[in-house]
Amino acid sequence: MICLLYRAAGPSGGKDEGVRAVTVKPGVANSLSLAEDQPEPAPEEGAVLVEALAVGICGTDHEIIAGDYGEAPPGADRLVIGHESLGRVLEDPSGTLQPGDLVAGIVRHPDPVPCTNCAVGEWDMCRNGQYTEHGIKALPGFARDRWRIEPEFAVQLDPVLAQVGVLLEPTSVVAKAWDHIERIGHRAEWRPQTVLVTGAGPIGLLAALLGTQRGLTVHVLDRATDGPKPELVAGLGATYHAVPVNDLPFEPDVVIECTGAPTVVLDVMCKAAPTGIVCLAGVSSGGRSIDFDAGALNRALVLENNVVFGSVNANRRHWTMAAQALARADQVWLSSLITRRVPVNRYADAYTAGPDDIKVVLEFAS
Ligand code: BGC
């Protein structure tokens, strides 16, 4: 089926068909539209030409569509969105990739200065904010029929991931979170047992998957009492909780907070076990203030040697870890994270959130 898809594109890569692209005008609410007959991606965008198979949709896309986030490339007034990609290589003159290879594009590119971290390929830790991101900040995204990328920003996926490889980008984000948790953990003897993940959306569920792959006891907490979340958590061999954090009968060694909800963020900081590590991976919208005792929190963190840190994005090393984690995961479980697959001509449906959505995917080739 997939090989047929590739052949259908033909030696011209389907280049005579016109490129469709999902775009927005950054800063303008509800400017989402599907542009037809767009030009082919410019050669300057990269040597590797890719036929899009799918893009995943996340909260960042919704923020961009609401006009709250996002930046068009220099000189343009519209941004092609889509940063969670899956495609098939049509051509790579550099010979790094072969036609037909399954790939995803790395989202972030280093700042041009570059800062000390970007200079060594750790663009996920950019220090000056001048990084760019496909589909988010000053670089065109992947929600178009064909896109280009430089080989060093293309990540090859195992062919087994043809149906679910679009989950690679969110998995790279949690692979980084786990990588940094482990680096911090090794400041002392590191034998974690219990993990709490708050939020059972795609990021939370993928964070839980990587926890179970490490042989840890994983608990996932979310507000939902029905819908697909409890079963998805059970499918990992993890335990689902729909209670307040304070009612949990254990103190986790590791917390990965994926809701960004202010009270949950504070509660997990207080709930972590002595020497526990709390990774904040949920982006809050801000603007809501709550009363809390900062002194008591400081006292608890200091006296128990706890660490709280933020984590966003991922560098190439994390994308590779993520590709390996997905390839060894249960493919049926991964497929069940994708609760809706919408063809690109019905793009507006894809970007309208549904009550039981986990991951919604916009499909290009069919
Ligand atoms: C993406 C990250 C990106 C972040 C901030 C997230 O949705 O997954 O790659 O760095 O948004 O733009």
For residue 49, give the nearest of 17, 13, 20, 4 by alpha carbon.
13
Nearest CA to ligand 1 atom 3: 313
- Amino acid making up residue 199: G
Most ligand 1 atoms within 8 A of CB, residue of 63, 134, 312, 318 to mutate? 312
89 lines ligand 1 (CB under 6 A): no
Q: What is the DSSP string of 276-327?
A: -EEEE-------------HHHHHHHHHHTT-EEEE-----HHHHHHHHHHHH
* Average pLDDT of the segment spanning 337-348: 98
61 lines ligand 1 (CB under 6 A): no
CA of 35 to the centre of ligand 1 (A): 24
User: Is the backbone peptide bond immediately before 252 cis, with ω within 30 degrees of 0?
Assistant: no
* Average pLDDT of the segment spanning 153-161: 98
CA of 304 to the centre of ligand 1 (A): 31
- Give the pLDDT confidence score for residue 8 in this predicted structure: 35
288 confidence band (pLDDT: 50, 70, 90): confident
Dmax over Cα atoms in the chain, in whole Å? 66
Residue with tokens 């729909």: 242
Q: Give tens-digit pLDDT for 34-64.
A: 999 899 999 999 999 999 999 999 999 999 9
109 alpha-carbon distance from chain centroid = 15
- Give the pLDDT confidence score for residue 16 in this predicted structure: 59
Tally of CB atoms within 10 A around 3: 11
Most ligand 1 atoms within 8 A of CB, residue of 61, 168, 313 to mutate? 313
- Give the pLDDT confidence score for residue 6 in this predicted structure: 34
- Give the pLDDT confidence score for residue 17 in this predicted structure: 73
Tokens matching residue 297: 């929190």
CA of 303 to the centre of ligand 1 (A): 33
CA of 306 to the centre of ligand 1 (A): 26
Nearest CA to ligand 1 atom 1: 313
SS3 for 253?
coil
* Average pLDDT of the segment spanning 311-340: 98
Establish whether domains 19-156+330-363 and 172-310 are of one fold: no
d(CA 92, CA 160): 22
* 172-310 CATH choice from 3.40.50.720, 3.40.50.9100, 3.90.1150.10, 3.20.10.10: 3.40.50.720
Question: Looking at the predicted structure, is the pLDDT value of residue 7 above 70?
Answer: no
Q: Give tens-digit pLDDT for 182-231.
A: 999 999 999 999 999 999 999 999 999 999 999 999 999 999 999 999 99
User: Do residues 134 and 141 lie in contact, with contact meaning Cβ atoms separated by under 8 Å?
Assistant: yes
In sequence order, which residues have a C-beta less than 8 Å from that of residue 361 and are 6 or more positions away?
54, 55, 56, 57, 166, 338, 340, 341, 342, 350
* Average pLDDT of the segment spanning 152-157: 98
Instruction: Report domain extents, the chain.
Output: 19-156+330-363, 172-310
User: Do residues 340 and 320 lie in contact, with contact meaning Cβ atoms separated by under 8 Å?
Assistant: no
d(CA 279, CA 350): 30
* Average pLDDT of the segment spanning 94-105: 97
**CATH superfamily, region 19-156+330-363:** Medium-chain alcohol dehydrogenases, catalytic domain (3.90.180.10)
Percent of the residues in the chain that have a pLDDT greater than 70, as a whole number? 95
Kindly compute the dihedral angle of the four CA atoms of residues 188, 190, 193, 199, in this order, to the nearest 10 degrees: 70
Question: Looking at the predicted structure, is the pLDDT value of residue 14 above 70?
Answer: no
15 confidence band (pLDDT: 50, 70, 90): low
- Give the pLDDT confidence score for residue 365 in this predicted structure: 81
Query: What's this model's pTM, rounded to 2 decimal places?
Result: 0.95
287 confidence band (pLDDT: 50, 70, 90): confident
For residue 148, give the nearest of 52, 9, 81 by alpha carbon.
52
β pairing state of 254-257 and 194-198? parallel
For residue 180, give the nearest of 125, 102, 242, 115 by alpha carbon.
125
